[in-house]
Amino acid sequence: DEQYAEKKKQKESELCQQLISQCKDKQLIYEKGLELQKRQSAPQNVDVLPTLSISDIDRKVVRVPIIQGHTGNTYVQLCEQPTNGITYFRCLLNTFDLPNELKPYLPLFVNILTK
């Protein structure tokens, strides 16, 4: 529809006019709007933002236990992390022995693997 944007704008305008006509205390709403605009445009106090200093960082590196093993002929490493049940997977795939006629399909394979 070529006039979609214009029709949408017209409907929004009509809805606004309808809501405004039903409103009882227009002056209070106007004043609250001005107050909100003033607060939103005021510069923020950056002193209340959290800050981090060197002393906040622990000098001791936290070691994460890594489980090493094999799945078939493949060497694997696993490490548990607090990710709320989300599994992250990283791998290296040796394509040296992959036939040349299959190599154009590697991007498709990678795309499917990550879905």
pLDDT band per the 50, 70, 90 thresholds, residue 16: confident
Q: How many helices (H) and strands (E) does the chain have?
A: 3, 2
Residue 77, helix vs strand vs coil: strand
* Residue 44 confidence (pLDDT): 84
Distance from C-alpha of 106 to C-alpha of 115, rounded to nearest angstrom: 15
> Cα-flanking dihedrals φ and ψ of residue 96, to 5°?
-60, -45
Distance from C-alpha of 30 to C-alpha of 36, rounded to nearest angstrom: 10
**Mean pLDDT computed over 90-108:** 91
**Mean pLDDT computed over 26-39:** 88
* 8 Å CB contact between 7 and 1: yes
Residue written as token pair 């005021």: 42
Distance from C-alpha of 85 to C-alpha of 102, rounded to nearest angstrom: 34
Q: Check: pTM over 0.75? Answer yes or no.
A: no
Q: Where along the chain do its domains lie?
A: 4-42, 67-113
pLDDT band per the 50, 70, 90 thresholds, residue 70: very high
Cα separation values, 32 from 12, 35, 38, Å = 22, 5, 10
pLDDT band per the 50, 70, 90 thresholds, residue 104: very high
29 pLDDT more than 80: yes
